[in-house]
Amino acid sequence: MVRLDSTARLQIPASRGTAPEPAAAPASRTPLIIAAVVGGLVLVGLLAAMFSGPKERRTQTAEIPQPLPPDPGPRPLPRPNPVDPVARDLEELDARTSLLLRQDKIPEVAGILKAARGRTPRRMDRGVDERLQKLDAAARRLAAPLLEQREPR
Protein backbone atom coordinates (compact mmCIF):
# COMPACT_ATOMS: atom_id res chain seq x y z
CA MET A 1 0.00 0.00 0.00
CA VAL A 2 1.28 3.39 -0.96
CA ARG A 3 0.70 6.31 1.34
CA LEU A 4 0.27 9.69 -0.19
CA ASP A 5 0.08 12.95 1.67
CA SER A 6 -2.48 15.53 0.64
CA THR A 7 -0.08 17.44 -1.60
CA ALA A 8 1.18 14.56 -3.63
CA ARG A 9 -0.34 13.83 -6.95
CA LEU A 10 -0.92 10.52 -8.32
CA GLN A 11 -0.21 10.16 -11.98
CA ILE A 12 -2.40 7.76 -13.75
CA PRO A 13 -0.91 6.39 -16.93
CA ALA A 14 -3.08 6.76 -20.01
CA SER A 15 -4.73 3.60 -20.99
CA ARG A 16 -3.36 2.18 -24.11
CA GLY A 17 -6.72 1.35 -25.59
CA THR A 18 -7.92 4.96 -26.07
CA ALA A 19 -6.97 6.99 -29.08
CA PRO A 20 -5.52 10.48 -28.63
CA GLU A 21 -7.98 13.37 -29.11
CA PRO A 22 -7.95 14.82 -32.60
CA ALA A 23 -6.50 18.32 -32.92
CA ALA A 24 -9.09 21.11 -32.90
CA ALA A 25 -10.11 22.35 -36.30
CA PRO A 26 -8.73 25.81 -37.14
CA ALA A 27 -11.21 28.61 -36.28
CA SER A 28 -13.12 30.14 -39.14
CA ARG A 29 -12.17 33.73 -39.98
CA THR A 30 -15.50 34.49 -41.65
CA PRO A 31 -17.17 36.21 -38.60
CA LEU A 32 -14.09 38.39 -38.12
CA ILE A 33 -14.14 39.47 -41.76
CA ILE A 34 -17.89 40.23 -41.61
CA ALA A 35 -17.42 42.36 -38.47
CA ALA A 36 -14.58 44.32 -40.09
CA VAL A 37 -16.66 44.99 -43.23
CA VAL A 38 -19.71 46.15 -41.20
CA GLY A 39 -17.52 48.38 -39.00
CA GLY A 40 -15.91 49.94 -42.09
CA LEU A 41 -19.32 50.60 -43.66
CA VAL A 42 -20.56 52.28 -40.47
CA LEU A 43 -17.44 54.46 -40.39
CA VAL A 44 -17.89 55.47 -44.04
CA GLY A 45 -21.59 56.25 -43.37
CA LEU A 46 -20.74 58.48 -40.40
CA LEU A 47 -18.09 60.35 -42.36
CA ALA A 48 -20.51 60.86 -45.27
CA ALA A 49 -23.21 62.18 -42.94
CA MET A 50 -20.76 64.51 -41.24
CA PHE A 51 -19.42 66.03 -44.47
CA SER A 52 -22.78 66.23 -46.28
CA GLY A 53 -24.08 69.04 -44.04
CA PRO A 54 -24.05 72.73 -44.94
CA LYS A 55 -20.64 74.16 -45.73
CA GLU A 56 -21.08 77.28 -43.61
CA ARG A 57 -19.95 77.03 -40.04
CA ARG A 58 -22.31 78.09 -37.35
CA THR A 59 -20.88 80.23 -34.67
CA GLN A 60 -22.59 79.49 -31.46
CA THR A 61 -22.97 82.38 -29.14
CA ALA A 62 -24.28 81.41 -25.78
CA GLU A 63 -26.54 84.12 -24.49
CA ILE A 64 -26.67 84.29 -20.76
CA PRO A 65 -30.20 85.24 -19.75
CA GLN A 66 -30.45 88.09 -17.34
CA PRO A 67 -32.13 87.04 -14.11
CA LEU A 68 -35.60 88.41 -13.73
CA PRO A 69 -36.09 90.88 -10.94
CA PRO A 70 -38.06 89.46 -8.04
CA ASP A 71 -41.78 89.98 -8.29
CA PRO A 72 -42.59 92.68 -5.80
CA GLY A 73 -46.20 91.58 -5.58
CA PRO A 74 -49.09 93.94 -5.05
CA ARG A 75 -47.90 96.71 -2.82
CA PRO A 76 -49.95 99.73 -1.99
CA LEU A 77 -48.62 102.98 -3.30
CA PRO A 78 -47.21 105.23 -0.63
CA ARG A 79 -49.72 107.87 0.28
CA PRO A 80 -48.77 111.28 1.46
CA ASN A 81 -49.31 111.95 5.12
CA PRO A 82 -52.86 113.31 5.44
CA VAL A 83 -53.18 116.65 7.14
CA ASP A 84 -56.85 116.20 7.94
CA PRO A 85 -57.22 114.34 11.27
CA VAL A 86 -60.33 112.51 10.05
CA ALA A 87 -58.50 111.20 6.97
CA ARG A 88 -55.55 110.18 9.15
CA ASP A 89 -57.87 108.32 11.55
CA LEU A 90 -59.62 106.54 8.67
CA GLU A 91 -56.25 105.54 7.22
CA GLU A 92 -55.19 104.11 10.57
CA LEU A 93 -58.49 102.24 10.75
CA ASP A 94 -57.87 100.80 7.26
CA ALA A 95 -54.37 99.73 8.26
CA ARG A 96 -55.70 97.90 11.32
CA THR A 97 -58.50 96.11 9.45
CA SER A 98 -56.88 95.29 6.08
CA LEU A 99 -54.94 92.24 7.29
CA LEU A 100 -57.95 90.91 9.17
CA LEU A 101 -60.12 91.31 6.06
CA ARG A 102 -57.59 89.40 3.93
CA GLN A 103 -57.71 86.61 6.52
CA ASP A 104 -61.54 86.68 6.43
CA LYS A 105 -61.80 87.48 10.15
CA ILE A 106 -65.12 89.28 9.84
CA PRO A 107 -66.11 89.37 13.54
CA GLU A 108 -62.83 91.01 14.57
CA VAL A 109 -63.16 93.67 11.88
CA ALA A 110 -66.77 94.34 12.89
CA GLY A 111 -65.66 94.81 16.50
CA ILE A 112 -62.96 97.30 15.50
CA LEU A 113 -65.38 99.28 13.32
CA LYS A 114 -68.06 99.39 16.05
CA ALA A 115 -65.52 100.61 18.57
CA ALA A 116 -64.32 103.25 16.11
CA ARG A 117 -67.87 104.42 15.45
CA GLY A 118 -68.53 105.00 19.13
CA ARG A 119 -65.44 107.09 19.83
CA THR A 120 -65.08 109.13 16.61
CA PRO A 121 -66.34 112.57 15.77
CA ARG A 122 -69.47 112.92 13.63
CA ARG A 123 -67.39 113.77 10.55
CA MET A 124 -65.82 110.31 10.57
CA ASP A 125 -69.13 108.42 10.74
CA ARG A 126 -69.54 108.46 6.95
CA GLY A 127 -66.09 106.79 6.45
CA VAL A 128 -66.87 104.17 9.08
CA ASP A 129 -70.27 103.52 7.45
CA GLU A 130 -68.56 102.93 4.08
CA ARG A 131 -66.18 100.44 5.68
CA LEU A 132 -69.12 98.67 7.36
CA GLN A 133 -70.82 98.33 3.96
CA LYS A 134 -67.62 96.79 2.51
CA LEU A 135 -67.50 94.44 5.48
CA ASP A 136 -71.13 93.46 4.90
CA ALA A 137 -70.36 92.68 1.24
CA ALA A 138 -67.35 90.57 2.25
CA ALA A 139 -69.46 88.66 4.80
CA ARG A 140 -72.16 87.98 2.19
CA ARG A 141 -69.51 86.76 -0.26
CA LEU A 142 -68.15 84.33 2.34
CA ALA A 143 -71.58 83.15 3.45
CA ALA A 144 -73.02 82.65 -0.06
CA PRO A 145 -71.88 79.00 -0.46
CA LEU A 146 -73.27 78.13 2.99
CA LEU A 147 -76.60 79.79 2.27
CA GLU A 148 -76.91 77.94 -1.04
CA GLN A 149 -76.38 74.60 0.71
CA ARG A 150 -78.94 75.37 3.39
CA GLU A 151 -81.74 76.51 1.10
CA PRO A 152 -84.08 73.69 0.02
CA ARG A 153 -84.20 73.17 -3.71
Instruction: Write out pLDDT tens, residues 136-149.
Output: 888 888 888 887 88
Structural domain containing residue 121: 85-150
How sure is the predictor about 86, in pLDDT bands with cuts at 50, 70 and 90? Answer: confident
**Which is more confident, 55 or 15?**
55
Task: Say how far apart CA 125 and CA 118 lie, in whole Å.
Answer: 9
Give domain status of residue 3, yes or no: no
Give domain status of residue 137, yes or no: yes
Give domain status of residue 28, yes or no: no
Give domain status of residue 25, yes or no: no
Give domain status of residue 100, yes or no: yes
Helices 125-150 and 85-102: angle between axes, nearest 10 degrees: 20
42: left (phi over 0), alpha (psi -120 to 50) or beta: alpha
Give the pTM: 0.41
Give domain status of residue 146, yes or no: yes
Predicted pLDDT of residue 45: 93
Alpha carbon 139 to its chain's center: 36
Give domain status of residue 8, yes or no: no
Predicted pLDDT of residue 17: 57
Q: What is the number of other CB atoms lying within 10 angstroms of the CB of residue 131?
A: 19
Give domain status of residue 130, yes or no: yes
Task: Say how far apart CA 93 and CA 87 lie, in whole Å.
Answer: 10
Number of domains in the chain: 1
